[in-house]
Amino acid sequence: MRKFQEMLMKDLGWKLLSIGIAAMMWFMVININQPVDTRTYSKYITLENTDVLTDRGLTVQNAEDLAATKVSIKIKAQRTALDRLNQSNDWLQATVDLSELSDAMDGDTVSLPVDVEMLGGYTGYTIVGKAPGTVEVHIEKNASKQLPVDVVMNGELSKDSLYAAPILSADTVIVKGPVSTVEGVVAVRAAINAQDVQDNVQLGAKLTAYNASGTAVSGVKLSVSEITVTYTSLNIKTVPINVNIWGTPSEGYELGETVCTPQTIEVIGDVELLSTFSYLQLPDINISGSSDNVRKTFAVADYLPEGITIKEGNSTTIQVNVQIVGANSRELTVQSDQLSVIEGESGKSYEISGSTKVTVSGDETVIDSINESTLTGTVDVSGLSAGHHKIPIQFDLPDGVTAGYSYIDVVITDEAAASDSES
């Protein structure tokens, strides 16, 4: 061991100098006479001079497929040069020049060469191969159409949350591309996550074109690629119905009871708007010269302020019944067993309950002769679904006698559903 150490340390300086000289000579040889190698690189195709087609209302039908095509390029150079190319191959470019398509027509398919070149004036590189060397370009007419933007909600909003229809930064979008592709686009949608929705928060959403099968369509361009969607929270308020009656009935008659059906409605709107909306005012009803009851029907939406809407499930119309009674009148009490149902449906049961009062008017002698315990009437239940209803009564009265508006409770039950529930 000691002898080995003596041998290693003997003339150490000369030995280190020899190693340094050898290394310098090796680097000199590498730099003066480098070995040449061949390597393969990949680049995506870029289409050039597309205006040759677009200026004539044409386009490349398979442009997206061409842009996704990778060209394998073999390059020959010294290893150090290839190493630099490995670090960044932005020097390479693969293009297809469309300038040769100046005479191309709709429906043509043309084979064009793939051009490969080195950018930036770099030397010492030789392109020895490329694949594919040519590509097929399909020519088609350019088309466009305008479509509304549909907002799709991913997930569900909280049951306690209520929002107005979203406000979009762009309500419509123009779809452009090959005519065969554009014709297949039936919708443009913006997807929003329910968990991101908050009051007056702008949400960014990318637009995607879809066909009739609900599949995303590629190969088209949208005039707007992304929009903002803003939701505004709403409140619900119950407001009464107000209507004014004016005028004087015919001689011998007077104004009776005025009934609105329904008497209140639920409306939806911005908090600030609802704070100033206390009741729904209907147009005045003129009863001048009337000797019969007056009935008017109003569409609720026609009398709501802008920005306030009817809550789903509420009646969209309001019926106002104004009772005109004779100077000779009498109030009668009618029990449920004195009434019968008409226009009922098989498979449903109808139960009339309670009692009601009705004012009858006319000839005094005839009115006095009416026995309230034998007075009969009917309730029309046509078209009514299962549930609790308050239905107007049509009374069987002697000639010369009229009755005011009177309502009775009717419970309708679907017998099939009731049987399933019992089971």
Question: Read out DSSP for 60-92?
Answer: ETTHHHHHTPEEEEEEEEEHHHHHHHHH-GGGE
The reported pLDDT for the residue numbered 43 is 92
More confidently predicted of 326 and 138: 138
Q: Where do we find the tokens 């000639």?
A: 399
CATH class of 234-327: mainly beta
The total of other beta-carbon atoms located within 10 Å of residue 131's CB is 11
| Mean pLDDT over each residue of the chain, to the nearest integer | 86
What local confidence, expressed as pLDDT, does residue 293 receive? 86
Helical segments of 210-350, H only = 271-275
Q: How far is CA 360 from the centre of its chain?
A: 55
CATH no., domain 141-230 = 2.170.120.40
Asked whether 403 and 395 are in contact (CB, 8 A), the reply is: yes
The secondary structure of 296-311, three-state, reads: EEEEHHHHCCCCCEEC
Question: Which residue carries 């340094």 as its tokens?
Answer: 20
Instruction: Write down the pLDDT at residue 29.
Output: 57
Q: Are 217 and 243 in contact (CB under 8 A)?
A: no
Between 127 and 22, the more confident residue is 127
| Closest C-alpha to 325, from 246, 245, 407, 404 | 404
Comparing 5-9, 40-44, 169-173, 342-346, the range with the smallest average pLDDT is 5-9
- Taking residue 58's Cβ as centre, other Cβ atoms within 10 Å add up to 22
Per-residue pLDDT band at 135 (split at 50, 70, 90): very high
The pTM score is 0.53
pLDDT at 92 over 70: yes
Among 360, 348, 354, which residue's Cα sits nearest to residue 384?
Answer: 348
| pLDDT recorded at residue 359 | 85
Do the bridges between strand 407-414 and strand 348-353 make them parallel or antiparallel, or are there none, so unpaired? antiparallel
Task: Please state whether the peptide bond connecting residue 166 to the residue before it is cis, i.e. omega within 30 degrees of 0.
Answer: no
**According to the CATH classification, is domain 328-423 in 2.170.120.30?**
yes
Containing 8, the helix (H) or strand (E) segment is helix 2-9
pLDDT tier at 422, thresholds 50, 70, 90 = low
Whether the predicted pLDDT of 72 surpasses 90:
yes
CATH match of 36-136 with 3.40.640.10: no
Q: Which of 10-14, 226-230, 256-260, 274-278 has the lowest mean pLDDT?
A: 10-14
Question: Residue 96: CB partners within 8 Å, gap ≥ 6?
Answer: 45, 46, 47, 48, 66, 112, 113, 114, 115, 135, 137
Average pLDDT over residues 26-34: 58
